[in-house]
C-alpha cells in the first residue's frame, strides 16, 4: 500500500479464523495456478479490519466458484474491461496475468491495455465481443443499455449466465473504487507477472481510461 492510508493487518495480528483466508490469498499465482475463490493479499489485509465483512465477501466468491456458468476467460475479459474503463491499476495488474492464464491472447491483452478494443474487432469471438460491450456499458452508463442489446445477449447466454456476469462486473467496479480510494498497491508477484506480459513498469499508476 502506498503511504498506508489505512493500516494493513498482517497475518500474525489477524484473528485466527482469518488465517486460512490469508493463506489462500498469498498463494495466488504460485506454480502458475489461478487463485481460487479468494480476495487478493492487500485487499485481505485491508478488509481484516472488518472480519465479518471479509468472510461474507469470501462466501460470495465461493458461491461463484461452486457452480460456475460462464467460461473463466469471459469473466476475466469482462473484469479487465471494467477495470480498464475505471483505470484501476490494482485490478489491471491482477487480472491481466489471470486473463492470460484463462486463455486471453497476448494481442488481446495488449488491446485491452491500450483501451482500443472498439477498433480491433477481428480479435474477438462473438461471445467475447458481447462480453466486452456489456462490461463497458455497465461500467460507463448501465441505464443506457438497450433492450436490443439484451436481445443479442440472450442469443448467446441464458438468464443465469447473464445474472452471474452482471454481478461479477458490478462487483468489479465496486472493487475498483475500493482499491483506488484506499490506494492499494498490487502484490509483488502480480506486479512482476503484469510487467512480463505488458512490458510496462512493475509499479506505478500508468494506466488511464
Residue in 209, 186, 176, 197 with CA at minimum distance from that of residue 40: 186
What is the DSSP code string of 143-159?
Answer: GG--HHHHHHHHHHS-H
Low-confidence ranges of the chain (pLDDT < 50): 1-2, 205-209
Per-residue confidence (pLDDT) for residue 2, from 0 to 100 = 47
Q: What is the pLDDT of residue 203?
A: 59
What pLDDT is stored for residue 28 in this prediction? 67
Q: What predicted TM-score, i.e. pTM, was given to this entire model? A: 0.91
* Under 8 Å between Cβ of 19 and 11: yes
Q: State residue 27's pLDDT score.
A: 77
Tell me the C-alpha to C-alpha distance, in Å, between residue 19 and each of 40, 45, 73, 130, 154: 14, 11, 29, 39, 41
At residue 207, the pLDDT reads 36
Q: What is residue 3's predicted lDDT score, i.e. its pLDDT?
A: 64
Ranges of CATH 1.20.1290.10 domains, the chain: 70-209
- Alpha carbon separation from 125 to 53, 72, 119 (Å, rounded): 38, 15, 14
On whether the CB atoms of residues 45 and 8 are closer than 8 A, the answer is yes
Burial class of residue 28 in the structure, from the number of CB atoms within 10 Å of its CB (0-12 exposed, 13-18 middle, 19+ buried): buried
- All 3 cell numbers of residue 178? 475500493
Looking at residue 209, its pLDDT comes to 30
The residue with cell 504460485 is 30
**What does the radius of gyration of the chain's CA atoms come to, in whole angstroms?**
17
Q: Which CATH architecture has domain 70-209?
A: Up-down Bundle (1.20)
Taking the C-alpha atoms of residue 190 and residue 192, their distance in angstroms, rounded to an integer, is 5
How far from the centroid of its chain's Cα atoms is residue 70's Cα? Answer: 15
Q: Say how many C-beta atoms besides its own lie within 10 A of residue 58's C-beta.
A: 20
State the residue for C-alpha cell 460470495: 60
Amino acid at each position: 500500500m502506498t503511504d498506508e492510508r489505512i493500516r494493513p493487518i498482517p497475518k500474525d495480528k489477524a484473528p485466527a479464523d482469518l488465517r486460512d483466508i490469508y493463506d489462500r490469498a498469498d498463494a495466488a499465482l504460485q506454480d502458475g495456478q489461478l487463485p481460487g475463490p479468494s480476495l487478493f493479499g492487500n485487499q485481505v489485509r485491508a478488509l481484516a479490519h472488518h472480519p465479518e465483512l471479509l468472510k461474507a465477501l469470501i462466501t460470495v466468491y465461493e458461491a461463484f466458484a461452486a457452480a460456475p456458468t460462464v467460461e473463466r476467460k469471459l469473466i476475466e475479459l469482462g473484469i479487465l474491461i471494467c477495470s480498464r474503463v475505471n483505470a484501476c491499476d490494482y485490478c489491471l495488474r491482477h487480472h491481466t496475468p489471470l486473463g492470460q492464464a484463462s486463455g486471453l491472447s497476448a494481442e488481446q491483452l495488449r488491446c485491452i491495455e491500450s483501451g482500443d478494443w472498439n477498433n480491433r474487432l477481428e480479435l474477438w469471438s462473438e461471445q467475447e465481443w458481447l462480453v466486452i460491450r456489456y462490461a463497458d456499458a455497465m461500467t460507463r452508463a448501465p441505464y443506457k443499455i438497450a433492450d436490443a442489446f439484451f436481445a443479442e445477449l440472450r442469443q448467446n447466454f441464458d438468464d443465469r449466465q447473464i445474472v452471474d456476469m452482471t454481478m461479477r462486473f458490478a462487483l468489479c467496479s465496486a472493487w475498483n473504487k475500493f482499491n483506488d480510494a484506499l490506494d492499494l498497491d498490487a502484490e509483488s508477484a502480480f506486479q512482476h507477472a503484469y510487467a512480463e506480459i505488458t512490458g510496462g513498469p512493475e509499479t506505478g499508476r500508468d494506466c488511464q481510461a
